[in-house]
Chain A
Amino acid sequence: MSDDHHHERPRTPVEDRVDALEALMTEKGLLDPAAIDSVVEYYEHAVGPLNGARVVARAWSDPEYHDRLLADGTSAIAELGFGGPEGDHMVVVENTEQVHNAVVCTLCSCYPWPVLGLPPNWYKNAPYRSRMVREPRVLLAEMGCAVPEGVEIRVWDSSAEIRYLVLPLRPTGSEDLDEGELAALVSRDSMIGVARL
């Protein structure tokens, strides 16, 4: 954005490298602003965890949708209009009274963009990626997500083409809420599996 070019603090080496690559790509005809700017705008502002929350709320409200979502996540999510890169092959894993699911990508940063948006830094950084497979119960507790003893934690490392969405347990006391009110209860972290509602 333009304000980035006019700040007063010293420029960092990585900013200089962005400038250089951008200038070079422009000079070589490798950048088409008309094509790319709307894509950046979309990922920064139009897509995010509210999409996933709508999927979860629909699954809680509509038993047939719930079953379709678990049987074929990609198609059921597409019913609500969500799909595209990093969401072409979706699997939804359901939390129950006996099972808590949590998702990680130990090799890079695979994440279901169409339903959750772009991933937060902690999801992409070494502590989460290294520890989530080795000591998930300890790590989740550290992150404020205490999973009761007797509930199995199932960790899913999205190391191939599948992207995962966790279907959290519907909170008790939410029986009278409509779909829109339910969606407002669903956090991003509950759909990654690092929070319980």
Chain B
Amino acid sequence: MANVDGVHDLGGLQGFGSVEVEPDEPVFHAGWERRAFRLTIASMIAGHLSGRFRHSIERMDPVWYLESPYYEHWLTATATGLVEAGLISQADLDAVLGVPYPIARPIRAPRLTDPGESRADPRHSVGDRVRVREWHPLGHTRAPRYVQGKLGSIVRSDGAFSLPDVEYHCDVKRDEPTYSVRFDAIELWGEPGDPVHVDLWESYLEGVEP
């Protein structure tokens, strides 16, 4: 796949091996996981992470992202978000920890001044053929790499929601229609198999002549 998206975009990536299921898994595996969850949820409820949370996780060093436990992602994204919101500083974190406090890498996408126009009326209908735009922005997006450039068909129209690509990089939100799009395995992987449905914002899609 000739493109350059974040390591979090895992669909179809190979080499990870078996799924390890832990019988009777607890909600939290250690006290620190519960406390990391608590710090994150408190920051979300207070509005301090305002839509940047996922993108903070995505900006962790790729090797660190893959080898660290899930709630370390949350802890890191919360620390990163509070620093970027100006509520704490990197120097504060370093001073309290006593060594440099690792956070995510800086935002690389330019800040948007114009969110574009919000829309509610869907351009596509159930049954329409659509192709996912090939686009690999430096900022946040929810268009998985494994469907980019691929042809699918709309199976459900879900109403309008804030487009994350704008929300994460602009002070103003832009709503637009979302859809569930069905992709055949032959289209995604070049061999027969079972279909995958992916939920996509309208900006990610291009109409295709029947």
Contacts and interface: CB of A to CB of B under 8 A. Distances in A.
Interface of A: 1, 3-4, 12, 14-18, 20-25, 28, 30-32, 35-37, 39-40, 43-44, 89, 91, 104, 106-109, 117-118, 120-122, 124-131, 133-137, 139, 142-143, 152-162
Interface in B93-116: 93, 96-97, 101-102
B12 A160 contact: no
Contacts of B87: 28, 30
A23 B92 CA distance: 11
Given A18-B36, A127-B17, A106 B92 contact: no
Given A127-B17, A130-B16, A131-B16, A161 B198 contact: no
Contacts of B78: 21
B120 interface: no
What are the 5 closest A-B residue pairs judged by CB atoms, nearest first? A4-B31, A106-B11, A160-B199, A153-B194, A127-B16
A87 to B, nearest CB: 15
B96 A23 contact: yes
Interface of B: prevailing SS: mixed
Contacts of A153: 194
A32 B39 CA distance: 10
A30 B70 contact: no
Q: Chain A CB within 10 Å — which of B19, B92, B178 has the most?
A: B19
Contacts of A130: 10-14, 16
Given A17-B101, A25-B39, A118-B27, A124 B70 contact: yes
A31 B45 CA distance: 10
A8 B70 CA distance: 24
A16 B79 CA distance: 13
A36 B70 contact: no
B38 A36 contact: yes
Interface string B68-92: 1110100100110010000110001
A38 to B, nearest CB: 11
B122 interface: no
B201 interface: yes
A27 to B, nearest CB: 8
30 contacts: A1-B31, A1-B34, A4-B31, A15-B30, A18-B75, A21-B39, A24-B88, A24-B93, A28-B88, A30-B48, A31-B42, A32-B46, A37-B38, A39-B41, A43-B37, A107-B10, A118-B27, A120-B21, A121-B20, A121-B22, A129-B10, A130-B13, A131-B16, A133-B146, A136-B196, A153-B194, A155-B195, A156-B180, A157-B199, A162-B199
Given A159-B144, A160-B178, A161-B178, A122 B20 contact: yes
B135 interface: no
Contacts of A162: 158, 178, 180, 199
Nearest to A127: B16
B199 A127 contact: no
Nearest to B92: A24
A189 to B, nearest CB: 8
B43 to A, nearest CB: 7
A152 B178 CA distance: 25
B209 to A, nearest CB: 25
Contacts of B146: 106, 133-134
A31 B38 CA distance: 9
